[in-house]
Amino acid sequence: MWLAAGVLSAAAGAGLLLRSQYEREQLSVERTVILTEKITRDCRMVFLSDLHDHEFGDHNKRLLHAVDEVKPDVILIGGDMMVSRESADLRVSLELIGELTKRCPVYYGNGNHETRMNRERKNFGMQYDIYVRELKKMGVRYLSNRTMEFRDDIAVTGIDLAERYYKKFHPDHLRPEEIGRLAGPAERERFLILLCHSPLFFDSCRKWGADLTLSGHFHGGTIRLPYLGGVMTPQFQFFLPWCAGTFEESGKYMIVSRGLGTHSINIRLNNKPQLVVVDLIRCSRTL
């Protein structure tokens, strides 16, 4: 009896691992529509996050094909495109981003892996500087605590969150004033997009002035369960409601990507990698 139970458990575990491996290669393209009176014409954006050196086919050809099918006006990157380790391989992310810059403007905000490379220079040496230099050579708009204009009616801000905002179990609270200290005052006339890697801080992001906050980091919660959503975040918080999806509060939005890759815990169940498409649609003021 115990032997049979052990065999069944092992078979179930192997089946789940095979399913996870399958899902990690199944790219899902998902669209969100946001209506706004702040823009003069429609805009289609692609949001990519948390690649962690993953490749969808040789040289990420399947991912690039998915981007080409969407035909975006701009590509926004939310960080963690590589894995910060002492022998970090920057080739995959740089090759992909180089191809993306041939298609349309690319804006890049840092995740915790980029900021870690910058912070822990004893471990990573000049890797961060090399990475940023290569991105800028490609023409990437690199948003490290700064705002850049995309169009007359759209601006994009990227902020670098300090290590304390990524602490295990109980990360510090990010206040709107801290966002202002990092990136300056929010644009009020243009539609303002904020690349804030962690989705824990939507309330502060919208109060600072972001019309749309784009986040990732949580990898969809690793395993997603019906009715319960994502199981676990990288901070070892469980069943948080904003592991993935679109959220709205007082006319401000946050989109949390499930990400493209994995690291450390290389599991995805009911949680396919995601390419996010955002259609900003011009609308008239309602009376």
**pLDDT digit string (tens) for 75-105?**
999 999 999 876 678 999 999 999 999 999 9
Averaged pLDDT of the chain: 92
Which residues is 276 bridged to in the sheet? 30, 47
Domain boundaries, the chain: 2-282
Going by DSSP bridges, is the β-strand pair 141-143/274-282 parallel, antiparallel, or unpaired? unpaired
Pick the closest to residue 45 from 191, 159, 206, 237 (CA basis). Answer: 191
Lowest mean pLDDT among 5-9, 115-119, 280-284: 5-9
Pick the closest to residue 65 from 33, 93, 103 (CA basis). Answer: 103
21 or 137, which is more confident: 137
Q: What is the pLDDT of residue 24?
A: 84
Q: What is the pLDDT of residue 285?
A: 65
pLDDT confidence band for 12 (50 / 70 / 90)? low
Residue 207 pLDDT > 60:
yes
Residue 6 pLDDT > 70:
no
Average pLDDT (137-148) is 98
Residue 11 pLDDT > 80:
no
Residue 225 pLDDT > 90:
yes
Residue 167 pLDDT > 50:
yes
Maximum Cα–Cα distance across the chain: 71
Side chain identity at 59, as an amino acid letter? Answer: H
227 or 210, which is more confident: 210
Residue 241 pLDDT > 50:
yes
- The two tokens of residue 186 are 């929010």
pLDDT confidence band for 189 (50 / 70 / 90)? very high
Pick the closest to residue 87 from 54, 51, 123, 57 (CA basis). Answer: 123
Residue 5 pLDDT > 60:
no
Torsion of CA 61, 66, 71, 73, to 10 degrees: -80
Contact between 148 and 193 under an 8 Å Cβ cutoff? The reply is no
- Output the CATH code of domain 2-282: 3.60.21.10
Q: What is the pLDDT of residue 287?
A: 40
Average pLDDT (176-190) is 96
